[in-house]
């Protein structure tokens, strides 16, 4: 008997021994799928900015709520300032809470077509990120972009334009 005949025999025997160790009941046992987690309620710490899907819808909501419209033109795939604006300002719960008391946000991400492309021309958007503030009728109140990580300055800017449109509240 040489080594080449012993190893295959030994491997087969070990394999059978391992299979024998598994209880027969395990073969028929069904594995229950994991329960899906319910989405967490948004708290002040987890609140995210909820964007409207079109400027027309945003204008209607703005008119009803005495708010302004916050139009964001962005290209987060290739624009570093766009990525920074998202990470440092737009994704923060403090900003979402503050802005949504003052404005109805709409986001247009490149490539932009349809209504967004029309608004690019109407408001002379030359680069990204660009924020256009309008009243409920679509009249431009102001324009901004990325300028750093101070959340409150962005909220104050929106408040300034809301007060310009509706008077101090």
The structure tokens listed for 42 are 């948004």
pLDDT, greater one: 6 or 78: 78
pLDDT tens sequence across 1-36: 555 555 455 444 444 444 444 454 444 444 444 444
Is the model's pLDDT at 42 over the cut of 60?
A: no
Q: Are 161 and 141 in contact (CB under 8 A)?
A: yes
In total, the chain counts a number of residues equal to 169
Least confident of 31-45, 65-79, 125-139: 31-45
Which DSSP category does 137 fall into?
T
The structure tokens listed for 68 are 């302004």
pLDDT tens sequence across 111-145: 999 999 999 999 999 999 999 999 999 999 999 99
Percentage of the chain beyond pLDDT 70 is 72
**Mode of pairing for the β-strands spanning 68-74 and 103-109:** parallel
Q: How confident is the model at residue 47 (pLDDT cuts 50, 70, 90)?
A: confident
* Level-2 CATH architecture, domain 55-166: 3-Layer(aba) Sandwich (3.40)
CA–CA distance, 77 with 49 (Å, rounded to integer):
19
What pLDDT does residue 9 have? 55
- Sorted by sequence, the CB contacts under 8 Å of residue 6 that are 6+ apart come out as none
Domain ranges of the chain: 55-166
């Amino acid at each position: 008997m040489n080594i080449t005949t012993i190893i295959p025999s030994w491997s087969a025997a070990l394999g059978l021994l391992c299979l024998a160790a598994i209880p027969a009941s395990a073969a028929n046992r069904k594995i229950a799928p994991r329960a899906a987690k319910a989405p967490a309620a948004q708290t002040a710490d987890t609140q995210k900015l909820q964007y409207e899907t079109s400027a027309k819808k945003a204008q209607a909501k703005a008119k009803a709520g005495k708010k302004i419209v916050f139009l964001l033109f962005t290209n987060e795939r290739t624009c570093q300032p766009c990525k920074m604006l998202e990470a440092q300002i737009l994704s923060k719960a403090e900003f979402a809470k503050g802005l949504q008391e003052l404005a109805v946000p709409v986001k247009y991400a490149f490539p932009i077509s349809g209504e967004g492309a029309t608004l690019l021309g109407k408001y002379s958007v030359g680069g990204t990120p660009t924020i256009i503030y309008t009243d409920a009728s679509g009249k431009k109140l102001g324009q901004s972009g990325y300028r750093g990580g101070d959340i409150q300055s962005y909220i104050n800017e929106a408040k300034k334009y809301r007060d310009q449109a509706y008077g101090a509240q």
